[in-house]
Structure 1
């Protein structure tokens, strides 16, 4: 049916200054009374992993909802970065407050030395939980991996930073690069476990990681940049004592898809909220 008349969908890529990289997001700054079914239909028509719908509360405060082509999700990091940049371009830089289904997320926007708008989101409080061994085994089977492919220094956990993500650390970069999984089998498991994406990680150095994020619950094979998972992973490292706060680290994502993305993550002490920074740029029509 297409996008309804009067609805302006802005298209940006987040976590890249190159529209050929990053993760595309739709942003609707004036949903004009759109219903849930309207927003889901618009997100499906846009076809990106998420489209954000922003409802102005006044005084730089907004309600925000995120829809994938198949379902609403409680929080989406890359669409938050894209939304914040769109608002900064329209209204000027500064701090905004976004009321998500997961809770309050603040975003600080600024212009960097290159003249690009950047945004730093501060997540809701992060947490981790043990991953059920049977669920981990099923995830590995769907991914066509075995326990021998995992990095023992990055144990499987379910990490939360606004949405739930199973974190699996891998022992080699080659294993991550060769990802090829059973979409339907993994989709079924993730629906049962309420996992939004998988955070598949390889540690390149003390403060550099490479990630891939399957997203079958949203009808998307893979996200090229996942801010929500980056925030959750920051909490994972902190809660497991694998990083000493205050600290920053970088995640490279999307390289294996030909859409390179850079996510800079900040971990504070004693705050369990995590900061994720990136830029966004518009996709030309």
Structure 2
């Protein structure tokens, strides 16, 4: 396969039908207004969710999903949930039920369209120190997850989810425009300086949205490692020496930024990401990569070779 997308959102039909039936009504329900369906989340006040989203058929209709692949000139995609389906804030038992149904539905889609789709599962992160619920990825309670992923050779796709500290970004869609890249940069930095990669050297993390602000401030982390007592001595190596475990998708919305990303991380550490089907995505990912002037061999790695290797599809 020449072009494979790692950042392709779906809502499995079985999960959507369960929400329609009220299976998870304490966390989410679908309401009908003037002939249109809306998703309504019953989340705590400190969780930033888009209020009353219209149900988007492009997330669940298999015909539209396949059309989305074709329109973007994608041979295949690694399909997974969007942040609205993470439910890290839900009761742990409910979160586990939601994740299980979501994963079963993703697996069913991937099985039905094995030549075009591969499934990315979601984890109910409420337990393990509840680190996903407003805490940080270097929390000790999450180490078993990272250790298991490293042992299995299973890459983890890291997608941001905004929390209470992002209240200042509620206006102007800034929770997405600025909040998502900020969250990603913070998560990547904590994975490195918090010692997760040091303890799990085989761990592979794929960052959404071009890695957020992280790839462009690696030098700042290295400088801080040299001069700041909070960092110096915590790690045996500079932060930049842990980049071998970090991969990024191509969703930068800017060809020079993407070229910098490829040059900084290496052409073997960047993969296609479109953020299907959302308006903040990239509808022409192949053209985006080719606009960077990487040359045929480097392009081939970014377009599909790297993800084929990471997901062991070849």
TM-score higher than 0.5: no
Greater share of strand residues, 1 or 2?
Answer: 1
User: TM-score with structure 1 length normalisation?
Assistant: 0.29
Q: TM-score by structure 2 length? A: 0.27
